[in-house]
Amino acid sequence: MTYDPTRRALLRGLGAAAMAAPLTGFLAGCSRTEIPGSASATQDLLATGRKQGFLRVGIANEPPYTQVTADGNVTGAEPDVFRAVCKRLGINDVQGVITPYASMIPGLKANRWDAIAAGLFMKQSRCAEVLYSEPVIVSTESFGVKPGNPKKITTVAGVLANAELKIAVLPGGFEDGILKTAKVPDGQLVKVDDGRSGIEALRAGRADAFFLPTLSLTALREKDKDFEVTAPVGDAPRTGSGAAFRPTDKTFLAEYNKELTAFKATSEFAAILTKWGFDAQTTKGVTAAELCKNAG
């Protein structure tokens, strides 16, 4: 790749979180509202994707939802499904841009990427700003706690009832929204950058629990046995995610949903979900309209 000062400046603008895992074709910007090659609000996203052969997606590098391999490939349940559906639309590849959850929708609306495929769970505030595809994943929430769960943290109500509890969350994440909707004071929330830093906060005693999707915590525990994962939280809403698009991309969304529906009926869809620890059956009968009713 030849030296491109604009590209280098854009990469620097993403900061440490993005630079932690360089990607093939990685490109994002903070000082521009449009990236060369990305679809603008007035362009046809389907035509653009077919012409350039790829779409850029915002991801979080949070397995099993999204993952960046050592060689920079973008994978995980959401990007793998997104890539497969895009291929059915004549778009052959997906390039990922790592960004915090809180920056995903602003970056999408600023045309820094073309879509979000990151396990960005649907809720009212997000659905008011972007267009979601039909669900790809339906998920539960759990707490990561110290061995034996000494503080007996099992419910959101229990967190609210005990002002001394400190809960680690990803800023802008669905779990952050659940606690805020439940009126848990900000002083009880410990903001962390990613899964690993959440576990570190738990280990160091800065947090009594780490609130995250059950499967995300389970994936983290495969590499770190110093904590436990609680049963799914009974008073957390049923959650789910799909790809998210700009409000101007209604035509693309309609075509995407058509191919997604067909793809979900294939064994390949089930294989992708199973590979990443999800059950493809959980999406049956669940709609984006239903999940968009989640408070927050």
Residue where the block lists tokens 């698009």 = 245
Using an 8 Å Cβ cutoff, are 51 and 89 in contact? no
* Distance, CA of 211 to chain centre: 15
Cα separation, 56 vs 114, whole angstroms: 5
First to last CA, the chain: 43
Which residue positions in the chain have pLDDT lower than 70? Answer: 1-43
pLDDT at 43: 64
Which 8-state DSSP code applies to residue 19?
Answer: H
Tell me the whole-structure pTM to 2 decimals: 0.70
